[in-house]
Homo-oligomer: A and B are copies of this chain.
Amino acid sequence: MTNQSTPLIKQLVALIRLKSFENSLEFVDKLAENVITDLDLIVVKKISHVFSPTGITLGYILSQSHLVIHTYPEEGVIHVDLAICSDRSDKEFEKSLKYALSGHEVFSIEVETIEFEG
């Protein structure tokens, strides 16, 4: 983190629009697990909340920072926020999301990034 060529914290945020998905914690769990495995993230702690009538938030404290997923099933939208101290490209992030959602009809994945230099 002290190397000036490496961002101190990089944030990768995606808004995913897809045809439909289950309003279940299991669905979000599976999505998160795929991203965690694919990007070699190390989980320290986990938290989740099932909103009424719909919507789920699943958050992880990572050794590298955090991953938070919000779902909005009524709008067909998933928001994924990954903050990491190590470097991952937006292409890697998008690829891991596509992989995690294979089998679903994904309309679009918009990825935005924020980098703070060390």
- Chain A residues near B (Cβ < 8 Å): 1-2, 8-9, 11, 13, 15, 44-49, 57, 59, 61, 65-66, 68, 70, 72, 75, 77, 79, 81, 83, 110, 112, 114, 116, 118
Contacts and interface: CB of A to CB of B under 8 A. Distances in A.
Nearest to A2: B75
A75 B8 contact: yes
Question: Which 10 residue pairs are nearest across A and B when measured between Cβ atoms?
Answer: A15-B116, A47-B47, A112-B114, A49-B61, A57-B61, A66-B68, A9-B79, A13-B114, A45-B49, A44-B49
Nearest to A77: B8
Please give the count of copies of this chain that the complex contains: 2
Given A13-B11, A45-B47, A112-B114, A66 B75 contact: no
B44 A81 contact: no
